[in-house]
Every structure is written in structure tokens, then in C-alpha cells.
Amino acid sequence: MFKAVIFDNDGVVINSEPIIFDATYEVFKKYGITITKDDVEEGIGAGDKYVRLPKEKYGLTEVSLEELLKEREQGFRKLAPGRLKPFPGFKQVVNYLKKLKMPIALASSAETEVVYHNLKVAGVNYKIFDEIVDSSKIENKKPAPDIFLQAALQLKVDPQDCLVIEDAIMGIEAAKKANMRVIAFARSISRDKLKTANYVVDSMGELLDLFRHNLSG
């Protein structure tokens, strides 16, 4: 059915999305703006779009996007210790795939240092992935397919033989553009908004069961 699995990071491997929102909320609050989750939903998994969209919506011109992103990252790092963890069952999924000798990659739109820092804080050993792709290795972020195509290239697997695990609308679109099948992990966004994926799961346990059912033997 497929020859490699590509995991998105935020909202799939690590439970970072609630912390990202809280940090973003505090940054905008500093400038007198109260954002909602609807303000950032389209930007989930799409790099700086997460901050750029509410900045443009509320006409925040007194501070640059770069400064907002810097403040958000500082806030995130203050909130992350003790909260940032891998999703329950993720390690079991990885262990199962490794027993099958299935190549796996991590694909994150974040910067290199941020990816490795967050994995460390969450207690995830980056060496469990055969390949890691971050924003430094691509030209265009999601919904462009660049990050997934680069992961397939590094894994030495044809894109059509890759399966992507994503939690965001933009990520699903990017995977589809890369001619890959995609399973949506419905933790950051409700199931009804992820219907463009080939399949939707609510937990790592459900994902593991799906793999066992389809890959056994």
C-alpha cells in the first residue's frame, strides 16, 4: 500500500498546537488584540501564516511580522517545559513501523533549531526518524508540496508510495499536491474539516490499529 511514512511534527508527533496558540494569544494581547482559534486555524502547519493572518486581520502595523514571531517563540519556550510531550501512543506507532523496516521521516515547517529543540523538550529522540526535513531545506511552505517531496527524495522513495500523517488543512493539501496519500490526525482541527484526507483518526491508538490491520503479513 505504501513504502514510507512521513510525519508532520506539530500537532502529530508533539502536542504543541495548544501551546503555540497560548503563546500567540499572549503576544497579540500585549498589543491590545484578543485573537480566537478561528483566527489562526488556516495558518496551522503553514509557518508564519499562523501569525501573519491575525496580524493582517486586526491591522497590527506597529510591529513587524518578524518581531511577532520572535516574541511568540520566546513565549512558547517559556510555556513548553512540562507541557510539551509526544502524543500518547506515538512511540508505539514508530516501534511498530520499525519492526516492519518501514522508512519514516519527520517533516516540519519550522526552522532547524526549533525542530530539534522542541523534540528534545518533548522527550522525543530525533534519531528515531530516518530523515528530518525542516524549512531550511525547502523553498515554499505548505500548502505547496515541497516539504513532502523533499522528504520522499531523502527517503529515496517515490512520492506516490509515501503516506503522510497530518493534522492541518494546509498539510493535507500539500500532501495531495505531492501525489501522496494522507491520514488526518484530528487533534488540532475537527474531523469535519479534514475530510479531504484519505482517512481520519482521533488517536495514535487508532492509527496503530489501522496499520496493524493493513500491514500485517
Give the strand order in the sheet containing 162-166.
131-133, 104-107, 4-8, 162-166, 181-185, 199-201
pLDDT at position 13: 97
Q: Cite the active site residues.
A: 8, 10
Is residue 125 within 8 Å of residue 142, measured between CB atoms? no
pLDDT at position 217: 53
SS3 of 161, please?
A: helix
Q: Which CA distances in Å does 114 have to 55, 70, 117, 156?
A: 22, 12, 5, 25
Q: Which CA distances in Å does 119 have to 12, 79, 132, 211, 212?
A: 12, 15, 12, 24, 26
Q: What is the DSSP letter of 56?
A: H
pLDDT at position 65: 96
pLDDT at position 208: 97
Other Cβ atoms within 10 Å of 99 Cβ, number: 9
pLDDT tens figures, 164-186:
999 999 999 999 999 999 999 99
In the chain, which residues have pLDDT < 50? Answer: none
| pTM for this model (two decimals) | 0.92
Q: What is the enclosing helix (H) or strand (E) of 38?
A: helix 37-40
Q: Which amino acid is at 196?
A: T
